[in-house]
Structure 1
Amino acid sequence: MPAQGTPSSKGQEIQRTFDRITGYYDLMNRLMTLGRHAAWCREVAAGAEVPPGGSMLDIATGTGVIALAARERYPNSTVHAVDFSERMLAAAAGKPGASAIRWQQADANDLPFGDESFDAVTHGYLLRNVENVEHVLEEQYRVLRPGGRVVMLETCPPRGPLRHPVELGVRVVIPLLGQVVARDRQSYAYLQESTLGFMTPQEVSEILRRVGFSSVAWRKRFLGTHMIISAEKR
């Protein structure tokens, strides 16, 4: 199905960026997280707590790592996975086990699903790439059933005594890996900027509460450069 709505100019540029890096996306995520990315995605899937026979939506699924982890964890549930990049979806749909997942092109700003359609919503690295975080979270609140959970993996700016050396490492390592591995320094320079320029977990938590979510919790990973946040729909 076609994506819903027309992406903004920034959205179109981000879409082109992810189309360019599709072939290297999984490898780069492994390298940039020293192999921890897949484990964090499994942690997100576990936090979704999809009931037997329930349904889950993974937004900005990329190459489907969270969606595939959810499918393995909840074999009796239905997993939907959406992304605005057709190339990412094609890569995800070609993986082992992918035939059991319902893949669809869609925009996180305008989800093509009815109110209260899912028992859980997950996403990885979505919010740092959207223009209106609150609106995107409102869409997720809308499609969640009462009592449903949202669980997300995001980057966050490091804090504390290690802040400056970690920032320096991010500024140097990510574009360098992009140049050496993906031959695309420009795309990974953008990812480096969005990593360091995104919100703190406290700021994301405040938006979640403002939208209407409750039971907001978060934990940091990887020297404070990543966070996993969960919340429930009242």
Structure 2
Amino acid sequence: MTEERAQMPSPDPPSSKGQEAQRTFNKITDYYDLMNRLMTLGRHAVWCRDVAARTRVPSGGRMLDVATGTGVIALAALKKYPNSTIHAVDFSDRMLTEAASKPGASAIRWQHADANDLPFGDEFFDAVTHGYLLRNVDDVERVLAEQYRVLKRGGRVVILETCPPQGLLRYPVTLGVRVLIPLLGQVVARDRESYAYLQKSTLGFMTPEEVVAILRRVGFASIAWKKKFFGTHMIISAEKQ
């Protein structure tokens, strides 16, 4: 089994939705960690550690963090599993540069890659993680199928995502998200446009049940999920059997 597929000189251009997401994340890199802390009242780093812990990477194993951004999940996994090999990929060069500059980041293998076509061989990883990836892709099923392909039998995928609030809190929380995220973007990052996009992708994404249905179609089993932060976030785990 080879570690990586043959690499092209440059990745294929992303789709229209991917291009919009790529432009957005390249623009907000300098404020990304701060905004995540503010928008989640400091819970983002805790959730990323939870995601890393749920992978159960064995000693000497390999983990892939897709859409790694500034590397919060990847670095949390390295701390949790210091004897493992952590690969982290993203399609934003600016995000990768920021992630690779953090303390301890030299131990992680950073790489530019497209989530639709991961440059790794079949059944190569013991675990795959990602945060806020699925809401920014055109074909969620294709992206999850790629992760299924690179996972070993018994390997786990752990997902951190936003989800639309439901129940009694649906309307006040939705109003809060619509107002707060663009406002914070304007005040902190001075970029209301980018955070208006993130607000729309947050409220417009799938429910946990919809993501679970796709995971099952792809072939995953032992699926579990829980909501966070007034029902606006979710962590989902599943296994390849």
TM-score above 0.5: yes
One of 134, 147, 170 as aligned partner of 2:141: 134
Per the TM alignment, residue 8 of structure 1 is displaced from its structure 2 partner at its CA by 1.4
Q: How many residues align?
A: 234
Which whole-Å CA distance do the structure 2 matches of 1:7 and 1:26 have between them? Answer: 24
Q: 2:129 is aligned with what amino acid?
A: T
Distance in 2 (CA, whole Å) between partners of 1:39 and 1:128 is 21
Given that residues 4 and 112 in structure 1 are in contact (C-alpha distance below 8 angstroms), is that contact kept between their aligned partners in structure 2?
A: no
Deviations 1:173-202 (A, max 9, x none): 000000000000000000000000000000
| 1:90 aligned residue | 97
Q: Where has structure 1 moved over 6 Å in runs of 4 or more?
A: none
Q: Over the residues paired in the alignment, what is the CA RMSD in angstroms?
A: 0.9
- 1:99 and 2:106 equivalent? yes
Change (3 A) 1:3 1:56: farther
Q: Which residue in 1 is equivalent to 2:45? A: 38
The unaligned stretches of length 5 or more in structure 1 are none
8 A contact 1:127–1:154 mirrored in 2: yes
Question: Which runs of no fewer than 5 residues in structure 2 stay unpaired?
Answer: 1-6
Any conservation in 2 of the 1:58–1:121 contact (CA below 8 Å)?
yes
Q: Which residue of 1 aligns with 2:79?
A: 72
Q: Provide the secondary structure at the position in 2 that maps to 1:61.
A: coil
Report the Cα distance in structure 2 between the residues aligned to 1:199 and 1:9, rounded to whole angstroms: 20
Q: Does 1:176 align with 2:190?
A: no
Q: How does the TM-score come out when normalised to structure 1?
A: 0.99
Query: Would you say the 8 A contact 1:3–1:106 is kept in 2?
Result: no
**Any idea what SS the aligned residue of 1:223 has?**
coil
Give matches, 1:16-27, under 5 Å.
16-27=23-34
3-state SS in 1 of match to 2:237: strand
Q: Would you say 1:225 and 2:232 are equivalent positions?
A: yes
Confirm or deny that 1:155 pairs with 2:151. Answer: no
1:62 aligns with 2:38: no
Question: What is the DSSP-based 3-state SS (H/G/I as helix, E as strand, rest coil) of the residue aligned with 1:123?
Answer: strand
Query: Shift of residue 9 of structure 1?
Result: 2.3
Identity %: 79
Aligned counterparts of 2:172 and 2:39: Cα–Cα separation in 1: 16
Matching residue of 1:7: 14
Q: Establish whether residue 125 from structure 1 lines up as the match of residue 132 from structure 2.
A: yes
Aligned partner of 2:4 in structure 1 is none
> Which residue matches 2:58?
51
Please state whether the residue corresponding to 1:76 is helix, strand or coil: coil
